[in-house]
A and B are shown apart, each in its own frame.
Chain A
Amino acid sequence: DSGVTQTPKHLITATGQRVTLRCSPRSGDLSVYWYQQSLDQGLQFLIHYYNGEERAKGNILERFSAQQFPDLHSELNLSSLELGDSALYFCASSVAPGGPDTQYFGPGTRLTVL
């Protein structure tokens, strides 16, 4: 158990819908990272927040948005969902704002878009 929690574990929805994925970092960690893992695209970095502020952005679609709240939990919002958005979404947390810091991964949310 990494100490990072993600809810829900599974999510099934329809095309065009909007969903919110939630991540709670390990106690004391200020950084949250979001990743998408799919068979087509592999493991892709989406976005990184440190202490509420965006630090780095990766291959995140405009239909997707994220934020980190004052209590340091983070939410990833996915809208106008398409079949191709079906994937495992991981969040990870670390103490420091990137670089060599070890990231601890949550168990993931499996999103299925029908």
Chain B
Amino acid sequence: AQSVTQLGSHVSVSEGALVLLRCNYSSSVPPYLFWYVQYPNQGLQLLLKYTSAATLVKGINGFEAEFKKSETSFHLTKPSAHMSDAAEYFCAVTSQAGKSTFGDGTTLTVKP
């Protein structure tokens, strides 16, 4: 069985500050891990994914995430927050058969 835990349902940062969104996973096999962003009234958009290549994954919009097997974590970071980063972020683990399990989501607020 696979599961995802996102720590913190709401995160607030100031514009220009570091963004850190936490994700821990559980999977019985090597995982495929994803971070998605959802803007209001829109579908999900892929930010980045880990597929057992490099442990540090770079994505769109300046985001990156590091896969740490020993900590079963895949935290999302961005060095400097922008107002346009305000959205809901989902971490997900997907099986080889394409079954995805999502975290509960983290709403990121960026203060001017």
Which A residues contact B (CB, under 8 angstroms)? Answer: 2, 4, 31, 33, 35, 42-45, 48, 50, 55-58, 90, 92, 94, 97-108
- Interchain CB contact under 8 A, A43 and B98: no
Any A CB within 8 A of the CB of B100: yes
Which B residues contact A (CB, under 8 angstroms)? Answer: 32, 36, 42-46, 49, 51-52, 90, 94-105
Query: With a CB–CB cut-off of 8 A, which chain B residues contact A50?
Result: 98
Also in contact, A33 and B100, with CB within 8 A (given A102-B46, A107-B43): yes
Nearest CB in chain B: distance from A110 CB, A:
9
CA distance A107 to B42 in the complex (A): 5
Among all A-B residue pairs, the 6 with the closest Cβ atoms: A98-B98, A105-B43, A100-B51, A56-B99, A56-B97, A43-B102
Q: Which residue of B lies closest to A44 (CB)?
A: B102
